[in-house]
Amino acid sequence: MLKKIAYKYMLMPSIRMRISQFERLPTPAGGVVFLGDSLTEGGLWHEWFPEVGTVNRGINGDTIGNLRARLDSAIVDPTAVFVLIGTNDLGMGATADEIGAEMRLLVRAIRDRAPGVPLYLQSVPPRQPKFADRVRALNRAYRTIAEESDAVYIDLWPALADENGGLRAEFTGDGLHLGGAGYSAWAEVLRPHLRRR
């Protein structure tokens, strides 16, 4: 409970400011939309994939429930949707089952707004090794959700994890967020999926 209260007071003002920009700058139709939290927000997707019209709708600190609540300003006739979210839910103490239930609601909401559009569910990347078992359990749930909802599951774990189940040291400065080498490794995993577009 304390984690949720701290989240509310520390991150909500910055989340609201970014959402207010999204509401004034609606997502252009026909783009590949990247939805997620700080990991997505930090990606310079338009530069990693200059040949693809990408739109970054990531917000630092976002949870699955918060993302679902802001879909109206994020999903506007996209050509594809890439989702990476859940690490903040995990960090706030939610179980894999609880997060999976939230993800099912999110997928359903995306499908309602963009029926028939390719949907890509990305695994939650590794964090510090102490989270490894919980992240793996969550990713197993995500794989099942992708299969059930005719989405493509993208497993980022092999490209980003070290032998202890943590995020590779050369990819991060804090055990959670990515630097250039980490985004480069992530982009290489995504590239074949974007080439099919």
pLDDT tens for residues 159-190?
A: 999 999 999 999 998 878 999 999 999 999 99
pLDDT of residue 188: 97
pLDDT of 119: 98
Torsion sign across C-alpha atoms 144, 148, 151, 152? positive
> Is residue 149 over pLDDT 70?
yes
Render the burial of 48-81: b for 16+ CB within 10 Å, e for the rest: bbeebbbbbbbbbbbbbebbbebbebbbbebebb
Do the beta carbons of residue 53 and residue 91 sit within 8 Å?
A: no
With a cut of 90, say whether residue 36 has pLDDT above it: yes
Length of the chain in residues, anyone?
197
Question: What's the pTM value of the predicted model, to 2 decimals?
Answer: 0.88
